Amino acid sequence: MTAPTAFLERPSDVSIIYATSGPNIKSTIVEGDWVTLRLPDTDVLVRDLIRYRIGTSEGFRGILVRFGSNPWQEHAGYVVGQPVVFSEEQVFVCEVPR
């Protein structure tokens, strides 16, 4: 298996889209949220987030659930169900679990 393709980072002038329902407005990522990351050719849905730290680097760890609307089980060096580590700068959308 080849090394996984790096998740893209949001441009500095683009904010995270916080998807919520109900009266509460969401403005931060918290443990348990679901997020959308991006690869060059598809979105990646990740759930069951926890904060993650290695040395001085801080980010998140979650479980890869699916590749956009594609039926792929494997893509770009990743497999559905595997844990992935990423930074807040790589998050495009954040939502409360359904």
In a domain, 21, yes or no: yes
In a domain, 80, yes or no: yes
In a domain, 9, yes or no: no
In angstroms, the Cα distances linking 35 to 1, 12, 55, 56 are: 25, 18, 24, 23
In a domain, 3, yes or no: no
CA dist., res. 77 & res. 6, Å (int):
9
In a domain, 84, yes or no: yes
In a domain, 36, yes or no: yes
**Residue 14 identity (one-letter amino acid):** V
**pLDDT digits 0-9 by tens, 16-35:** 999 876 666 778 999 999 99
For residue 22, count CB atoms less than 10 angstroms from its CB and return exposed for 0-12, middle for 13-18, buried for 19 or more.
exposed
| Count of the separate structural domains present in the chain | 1
In a domain, 6, yes or no: no
**Residue 41 identity (one-letter amino acid):** D
The pTM (predicted TM-score) of the whole model is 0.90
Per the structure, the complete domain to which residue 37 belongs is given by 17-95
Dihedral sign for Cα atoms in the order 65, 75, 50, 87: negative
In a domain, 45, yes or no: yes
**pLDDT digits 0-9 by tens, 62-87:** 999 999 999 999 999 999 999 999 99
